[in-house]
Amino acid sequence: MIKKVLIANRGEIALRIHRACHEMGIETVAVHSTADADAMHVRLANDSVCIGPPASVDSYLNIPAIISAAEITGADAIHPGYGFLSENAHFAEIVADHGLTFIGPTADHIRTMGDKITAKETVKKLGIPVVPGSAGGITDDVTAKKVCAEIGYPVIIKASAGGGGRGMQIVQNADELSVKLQTCRTEAKASFGDDAVYIEKFLLKPRHIEFQIIGDNHGNCIHLGERDCSLQRRHQKILEEAPSPVINDETRARVGGIVAKAMADLGYSGAGTIEFLYEDGEFYFIEMNTRLQVEHPVTEMITGIDIVREQIRVAAGEKLSYTQDMVRFFGHAIECRVNAEHPFTFVPSPGNVTQYHVPGGLNVRCDSAVYAGYKIPPYYDSMVAKLIVSGYTREGCLLRLRRSLAEYVIDGITTTIPLHQALMDNEDFQAGDYDIHWLEKFLKDKTE
């Protein structure tokens, strides 16, 4: 088994990983930038190493410094968390080359899913339904026109090396196609160094529903149900819930069964998320994430399964602790992302947290590395906490969230807590009646 894990991340997820390690009797190494010397995970870890100045490229993305820190401290594994190096196949390879265990899938699987054209081809062959579109990349106008005529407008052109909303063009009709194809290819080359693009039917009012899977190195892969992540602004998720308000048990078992079988056939090991657009009762694969996700706690809350613990177990070569029939879904869970930002304009608000009080009570979980007196640095992501509640019913979660949000004290900075409070009072949200565009409209009405 793994004895000492280097956590190549910061903030709440570094703390989340430390907690799983501590419960498993595994020591931890925190690596941090000069801006994070006073961070909570640095205090709690068994060892800590400063790996560079504040800028992420010089610290949390500094591969030689991270590998050196692992060697100096005697770590035998590295957990990359989310963001930073978590989906960097090159990093996964280097970690393995140094005789260390990368807590995540193989470099090959990361690479396959990082290229969106290859990812789509791969999962389609494995039986997962995909969005209608081009078979592979598109380079010329003639082929593009043919594909679009077949699938019908509007279409969306996406960069193969993009993902998460970067490098996309929506095309309303044939007249716009040629220019937008060229724009997309040029931007893809400039942003990602790869001009490969593909075309899909543009779905107008889908929901974003993703399935959590986890596989081991013994041919097993299970699914842990879905999360509804439709509430997002500029491709940043704001609130996530499990189960989705629009998915029933039969559909969960059917689609979950398809994705778990597909990933077992692929020999996938580690945690992963299969992202779908869901419209008119149909699922369409768009991307796969090969990392632990920010919103994993809602899945943990309805299954009782510690996803980070399972990641560590499977990386160490152990079997998953659960077979599919041991997985039970209980009740509902909702996560509110608390960002150090203005609640409606999203202007960043880093600075000193002067007073801090976390809500508690039955079925309330707060994943955060913030403490009273902590100074939120301006260099990184603005998410400072995740407030997660669970309950028998979705309605119960909404009542519990109202109560917890009111109890939460974060003085000294502006946070998105008032946005969540406004959501709790909205009828569409209360009814679970929202798609991927709903939040932007809600915010437009609020700020106009």
User: Active-site residue numbers?
Assistant: 291
Q: What is the dihedral of CA 425, 426, 428, 433, to 10 degrees?
A: -60
Provide the minimum distance between the beta carbon of 168 and ligand MV4 in the complex, in angstroms, as a whole number.
6
Provide the minimum distance between the beta carbon of 292 and ligand MV4 in the complex, in angstroms, as a whole number.
18
- In terms of CB distance, is 235 or 357 closer to ligand MV4? 235
Draw the binding track, 280-319, toward ligand MV4 (x: CB under 6 A; -: no contact): ------xx--------------------------------
CA separation for the pair 422, 402 (Å, rounded) = 10
The site that binds ligand MV4 (CB under 6 A) totals a number of residues, namely: 14
Q: Does 436 engage in binding with ligand MV4 (CB under 6 A)? A: yes
Pick from 3, 205, 218, 235: which binds ligand MV4 (CB under 6 A)?
235
- In terms of CB distance, is 15 or 188 closer to ligand MV4? 188
Q: Does 29 engage in binding with ligand MV4 (CB under 6 A)? A: no
For β-strands 383-391 and 364-368, DSSP reports them as antiparallel
Q: Does 442 engage in binding with ligand MV4 (CB under 6 A)? A: no
Provide the minimum distance between the beta carbon of 327 and ligand MV4 in the complex, in angstroms, as a whole number.
26
Which whole-number Å values give the CA distances from 102 to 4, 312, 328, 364, 409, in the listed order?
12, 9, 29, 32, 37
- In terms of CB distance, is 277 or 336 closer to ligand MV4? 277
Find the farthest-apart pair of alpha carbons in the chain and give their distance in angstroms, rounded: 62
CA separation for the pair 110, 89 (Å, rounded) = 6
Distance spanning both ends of the chain, measured CA to CA: 56
The span of 199-207, 256-264, 346-354, 391-399 binding ligand MV4 (CB under 6 A) equals 199-207
CA separation for the pair 89, 102 (Å, rounded) = 10
In 280-328, the DSSP E strands lie at: 282-289
Q: Does 156 engage in binding with ligand MV4 (CB under 6 A)? A: yes
CB 17 within 8 A of CB 79: yes
Q: Does 152 engage in binding with ligand MV4 (CB under 6 A)? A: no
Tell me, rounded to whole angstroms, the distance of Cα 144 from its chain centroid: 31
Pick from 74, 127, 152, 165: which binds ligand MV4 (CB under 6 A)?
165
Q: Does 147 engage in binding with ligand MV4 (CB under 6 A)? A: no
- In terms of CB distance, is 337 or 365 closer to ligand MV4? 337
Q: Does 202 engage in binding with ligand MV4 (CB under 6 A)? A: yes
CB 149 within 8 A of CB 104: no
CB 301 within 8 A of CB 241: no
Q: Which residues lie near ligand MV4 (CB under 6 A)? A: 131, 156, 164-165, 170, 200-203, 235, 277, 286-287, 436
